[in-house]
């Protein structure tokens, strides 16, 4: 408690009271705080968006790998161009082809569009 009565602390407290009483200073501080909160929120959203993109890319790579393994196991050797076709496919096409491997009698039947 002795420190609270020291001259430097008393001067600092007086300056804080004076700054708090000034409307323009309070408004500047409020604007700065809102800007910081906004920036933090934007950065969090960007990180989450990056995570989501990473998950989607990971899911796509998993589907590609799974389809390649299934096709190789069932119809090996794979003709030239098959892997390129798989790598250019949409996620929906990959999903359809993965399921088609189960019943398709031939490799060509896997890639028949419905």
Write the DSSP string, 46-89: HHHHHHHHHHHHHHHHHHHHHHHHHHHHHHPSPPTTHHHHHHH-
pLDDT digits (tens, 9 = 90+) for 21-39: 778 878 888 899 999 999 9
Q: What does the alpha-carbon distance between residue 48 and residue 72 come to, in Å, rounded to a whole number?
A: 36
* Residue-level pLDDT at 1: 45
- Residue 18: the pLDDT is 81
Q: Indicate the DSSP class of residue 4.
A: G
pLDDT in tens, 44-59: 999 999 998 888 888 9
């Amino acid at each position: 408690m002795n420190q609270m009565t020291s001259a430097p602390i008393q001067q600092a407290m007086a300056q804080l009271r004076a700054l708090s009483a000034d409307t323009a200073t309070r408004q500047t501080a409020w604007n700065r705080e809102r800007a910081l909160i906004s920036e933090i929120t934007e950065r969090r959203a960007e990180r989450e968006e990056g995570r989501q993109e990473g998950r989607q890319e990971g899911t796509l790579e998993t589907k590609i790998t799974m389809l390649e393994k299934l096709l190789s196991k069932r119809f090996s050797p794979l003709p030239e161009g098959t892997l390129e076709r798989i790598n250019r496919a949409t996620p929906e096409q990959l999903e359809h082809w993965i399921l088609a491997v189960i019943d398709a009698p031939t490799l060509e039947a896997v890639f028949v569009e419905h």
